[in-house]
Structure 1
């Protein structure tokens, strides 16, 4: 069985750290905590689980802090978690099984990161992240924000997931502030950081500036395919906010130059036509979404609802508006197979039951 060092960077995490460490403590062989300036009970809580607690002055660089945490690890693999992450019971079992059987020649284990949830706790947004990294394997974190490790050697895709459970909002301006400080200092952002900078501008409603950054990112042609597709989508969202309706649609179509259609993009195009009451065109794109194969291992952001529930519930509405209630009801039941407790599904059933017999 391989050994694992849990390596964490923390600051003022007294509300979530215990929950995180309780979920992981029995899975790992040592715990490394790097504190970047806590003023609450974070270090006191950490001390209940480990005596390896180190101070590291924060310098607006997540990669530097994570590399510091890895530098103290002594086990075969380093595993990272954020303080508001947890391993659910079923994932703890899967993790232990992987740890027991992991081939030591594996350099990196990728695992799903669940970060978005509906009102019933079902995952609505996830993506794979590098989760176990071979210690002293020549890999390090890069990127002051949205830091990442570029895998080398053999990569394995694990089936245990890490669940991100925030209990409070983080500083909404931190990432943009760091990016702008880098630019003010004359730093040139590499492609991945340029992509995320454009997204930060979008989140801050700087539509025109975000559009300029993302267009430049795409034109330079140095981005990873999944980031390129996501950049096109965010260009579309910026155009929509700016009232450039046709340009928004064209930006979505641009994603097809990079790879096969993604269900998420098809749903966005379907929504474009739906909002203009062009229900036949909308139905075409929602139906196409249902033919798209979900492949989380591509590494891109995945919205599971787009591969079943969302296109089905939208097809129900489209066909109802087109007067085909029988087909609409069929798609409502297909949506129910994905989410039996959906309020939209239950509402639609009530509507269909109220229709006169034979109405279509």
Structure 2
């Protein structure tokens, strides 16, 4: 069986670090913590799990800190996590089986990353991350912010999921790092430009963000899923600016990057739904529920669009059109994904009453 080093970089994470470490303590053989300048009780929390706690002088470079954390590892494989990450029990059990059975020829295990959740705790936004890497390959982190690890060789795609619950509010730090790079004459890669655009969006610089997203979309060498993300986020920017037609145009551009995906088809449907054009909305939502979710994907997937959301909205649209049987049927399908959702249960009650009333009126007529 393989051995695993957990390597983390932390700063002022006393509120969440215990949850993270407690969730994986049965999976790892050593815990390495690199602290980048905590002023709270982070190191005391870490000391409950390990004595391998190191200091790193912060230099506005996340990759540098992560590479240092990896340098202290001694086990066969390295697992990396952020302090506000954790594993749910079902994924802990999956991870245990992976550890017992992993072929040592595998260089990296790519796992799901749940970064957003609905009100019922179900993941709504899912990415893939190279999460467990072979130490002997000496893979390196790149990019000073929104860093990534460059891997090659044999990569195993796993359905093990790491959950993320962001705790630090945006401070503008990441945007300052990117702008510092640009001031020093750096040329951003496509991935860096995307992350820079994301930081511009977060900080309200929407026009500059749109221009950056468009640059990536126009690049014939850009990865198609990155282009999809750019179209999606450009649509968000236009929406924030009150430009609904441009929002729709950005969403339609996804069709030039890949086959239709429910993520974007549902947003197109919602555009027509908001405009009161329920017939068009129904057609787009019907398309969404017929699509097959891509299996081999690396960037984000909106889980809602592939499960309950189009059915919920079809129930609403059919209700507006007076087609109550179809509205009821789709509400039932949505309930199959979220059987305890109070809104769906209330919809069911209202639709039942409406259908009963319609039958009564029909008999009287």
Query: Fold match, TM over 0.5?
Result: yes
Map 1:209-224 → 2, pairs under 5 A: 209-224=208-223
State the Cα distance separating 1:114 from its structure 2 match.
Answer: 1.4
Q: Is the 8 A contact 1:191 1:222 kept in 2?
A: no
State the Cα distance separating 1:5 from its structure 2 match.
Answer: 0.6
Using structure 2 for the length normalisation, give the TM-score.
0.94
User: Structure 1 residues 9 and 296 mapped into 2: Cα distance closer, same or farther (>3 Å)?
Assistant: farther
1:50 aligns with 2:50: yes
Map 1:1-360 → 2, pairs under 5 A: 1-166=1-166, 168-295=167-294, 297-355=296-354, 356-358=357-359
Deviation string, structure 1 residues 118-157 (Cα, Å, up to 9, x no partner):
2222222221111101113142111222211232011112
Distance 2:172 2:292 in 1: 36
The 3-state SS of whatever aligns with 1:22 is helix
Distance 2:328 2:98 in 1: 43
Distance 1:4 1:326 in 2: 55
The 3-state SS of whatever aligns with 2:159 is coil
State the Cα distance separating 1:221 from its structure 2 match.
Answer: 2.9
Distance 2:60 2:295 in 1: 31
The 3-state SS of whatever aligns with 2:137 is coil
Deviation string, structure 1 residues 198-245 (Cα, Å, up to 9, x no partner):
122122222211111111122223322111101011112222233333
Q: Is the 8 A contact 1:202 1:210 kept in 2?
A: yes
Distance 1:43 1:85 in 2: 17
The 3-state SS of whatever aligns with 1:266 is helix
State the Cα distance separating 1:296 from its structure 2 match.
Answer: 5.2
Using structure 1 for the length normalisation, give the TM-score.
0.95
Distance 2:78 2:140 in 1: 11
Deviation string, structure 1 residues 176-216 (Cα, Å, up to 9, x no partner):
22212222222111100101111221222222111111111
Q: Is the 8 A contact 1:14 1:42 kept in 2?
A: yes
The 3-state SS of whatever aligns with 1:161 is strand
Distance 2:199 2:310 in 1: 28
Q: Is the 8 A contact 2:120 2:341 kept in 1?
A: no
* Larger displacement relative to structure 2 (93-102 or 216-225): 216-225
State the Cα distance separating 1:77 from its structure 2 match.
Answer: 0.8
* Larger displacement relative to structure 2 (206-215 or 174-183): 174-183
Q: Is the 8 A contact 1:67 1:140 kept in 2?
A: yes
Distance 2:243 2:121 in 1: 35
Distance 2:119 2:295 in 1: 23
Deviation string, structure 1 residues 78-120 (Cα, Å, up to 9, x no partner):
1001111112222111111101110011010011111212222
State the Cα distance separating 1:295 from its structure 2 match.
Answer: 3.0
Q: Matched residue pairs, number?
A: 359
Q: Is the 8 A contact 2:62 2:147 kept in 1?
A: yes
Distance 1:254 1:103 in 2: 41
Q: Is the 8 A contact 1:296 1:302 kept in 2?
A: no
Structure 2 residues not aligned, in runs of 5+: none
Distance 2:188 2:231 in 1: 19
User: Structure 1 residues 326 and 241 mapped into 2: Cα distance closer, same or farther (>3 Å)?
Assistant: same
